[in-house]
Structure 1
Amino acid sequence: MRGGHIREDIGMTVALYAGSDRSSETVKGRLTRHSFSFGPHYDPANLGFGPLVCHNDDVLDPGGAEVAGYAEHPHSELEIVTWVLEGALVHTDSTGASHVVEAGRAQVLSAGSGIRHSEVADPASGRCRFVQAWLAPSASGTTPSYVIGEAPSSEADGLVDVVGGRGLPLGTDGARLLVARLGRGRSVALPDDPAQHVFAATGAVDLGGVALRAGDAVRLTDEPARTVRAEEPTELLVWSFSRQP
């Protein structure tokens, strides 16, 4: 069965969360879909997965008179990871960082003891879509910081560490974000870690008999390494954790 907030358990350690079940919020020029309990969309059964406490899918349309996105606001004690799927996002923060983050690039904002930032669509690039994750940091009271990078460059790269591991530095121990761009029929093996959050941002995949369409996610706990096969061109985002949630 697809639907509901605990959606489908397969083998006791695989939980499928349909994208159509995500709560959503529409503001002028912005549509946000939440994978976890967020703000007024409170769900005590879905507060997070290990250190992952937020996984939002945002679409910004800069076509109107309003600035599309998030005006300046504060954060503290969070690792905020953004992966841009389409268009470009303009990031500015109180560390002095100011960047246009284009599709295929990631940014990590370590809020630490406190930071302010804004994120809005780049009007020159049109519609912007990005996925943003918040994670609990391993240490508190750290100095805020910002870093930006990109990967993978092609589908031949397979599943690549973008944040954590061999990717951009992250202040959450044992967590990493991997991304793959897969052509139809292409397969990749998931990491051999005890917990993973697998999100089909676009396209459709088969994960050992579990079908994921765009917007769907699977949470794996204490599972053997599995293979993901793309049924159509797909952008796959995988959060992998070295410890069980």
Structure 2
Amino acid sequence: MSYYRAAEQRGHASFGWLDSHHSFSFDNYYDSEHMGVSVLRVINDDTVAEGAGFDTHGHRDMEIISYVLEGSIAHVDSMGHRRTVSAGEVQRMSAGSGVSHSEFNASATERLRFLQIWLRPNVKGIKPEYEQAHIPQSKALTLLVSSDGRDGSLMVHQDASIYRLRLQHNEGAPLLVSKGRVGYLHVVSGSAELDDSLLSAGDGFGVYQVRRFEVLAKSDNFEALWFDLPPEEK
């Protein structure tokens, strides 16, 4: 069984300072057919105008990952962190028992674009945590987030891993969904062939069964995120 959602089918919100595309139901956008895949609850592709951002607000019991594509985030939180998260960096915040934070475009002249990703945790009520890192691309499929922080990745409280896939034109990479796992591919930029279909930026593809397949880049600078997730919750 597989799941596919084209970029143009995503939810969309525009507020002047913010242009956001929602892969799954979020905030005022609701679609019962698209509530997430396994523990992956949110992928928002957010573009934030110069100097604008999200005022202080709270979260509980969610693993929140931000992957910056362009510009920089100015981050402030109730744990005492005041950080700048720049393009190419990954940020992880475990909201746990409760945390408040603000996220603003750090630049007054350039736009900010980042992916906001939420994973449901496998433990609740923990002390909130924060970390960020620049993780160089070591091979086509490079680990960014994991349950144990291996290979320099950020650690989340969930049996899940997130990899960054980067390929040049006509390069391919195999992806494997193991027994009892769920896979999800989110295309960040460029295009690639998968199962004789062409995937482009913003498209999402999920797999719920044991399977090995290959992604073949059809453009230069193809980039995607590959999620290795636990079984669907009953």
Q: TM-score, normalised by structure 2?
A: 0.91
State how many pairs are aligned: 226
Partner of 1:72: 56
Amino acid at match of 1:70: F
Q: How does 1:119-138 map to 2 (within 5 A)?
A: 119-123=103-107, 126-138=110-122
Q: How does 1:203-218 map to 2 (within 5 A)?
A: 203-218=190-205
Deviation at 1:186, TM superposition (A): 1.6
CA distance in 2, matches of 1:241, 1:55: 14
The match for 1:116 among 100, 104, 113 is 100
**Once the two structures are aligned, what percentage of the paired residues are identical?**
31
- Answer yes or no: is 1:92 the counterpart of 2:76: yes
Deviation at 1:207, TM superposition (A): 1.5
The match for 2:164 among 167, 179, 184 is 179
Partner of 1:157: 139
CA distance in 2, matches of 1:211, 1:88: 31
Unaligned residue ranges in structure 2 (runs of 5+): none
Partner of 1:170: 156
The question of whether the paired residues in 2 share the 8 Å contact of 1:182 and 1:234 is answered with yes
CA distance in 1, matches of 2:55, 2:114: 16
The question of whether the paired residues in 1 share the 8 Å contact of 2:37 and 2:232 is answered with no
Amino acid at match of 1:211: L
Partner of 2:91: 107
CA distance in 2, matches of 1:17, 1:81: 21
CA deviation map 1:71-92 (0-9, x unaligned) = 1100001000111111111111
CA deviation map 1:83-124 (0-9, x unaligned) = 111111111111111211111110100000000011111115
CA deviation map 1:28-68 (0-9, x unaligned) = 31101101111221111211111111111101120xxxx42
Deviation at 1:244, TM superposition (A): 4.2
Deviation at 1:210, TM superposition (A): 2.4
SS in structure 1 at match of 2:32: coil
Unaligned residue ranges in structure 1 (runs of 5+): 1-12
Partner of 1:46: 34
Deviation at 1:125, TM superposition (A): 6.7
Amino acid at match of 2:91: Q
The question of whether the paired residues in 2 share the 8 Å contact of 1:90 and 1:99 is answered with yes
Partner of 2:7: 19
The match for 1:148 among 119, 129, 132 is 132
Pairwise CA RMSD of aligned residues?
1.6
CA deviation map 1:168-206 (0-9, x unaligned) = 11011x211110222111211224333111011110011
The question of whether the paired residues in 1 share the 8 Å contact of 2:53 and 2:105 is answered with yes
CA deviation map 1:113-171 (0-9, x unaligned) = 00001111111571111111111111111000101012233xx6211110115321101
CA distance in 2, matches of 1:209, 1:150: 34
Aligned structure 1 segments of 4 or more residues deviating by more than 4 angstroms: none
Amino acid at match of 1:170: V
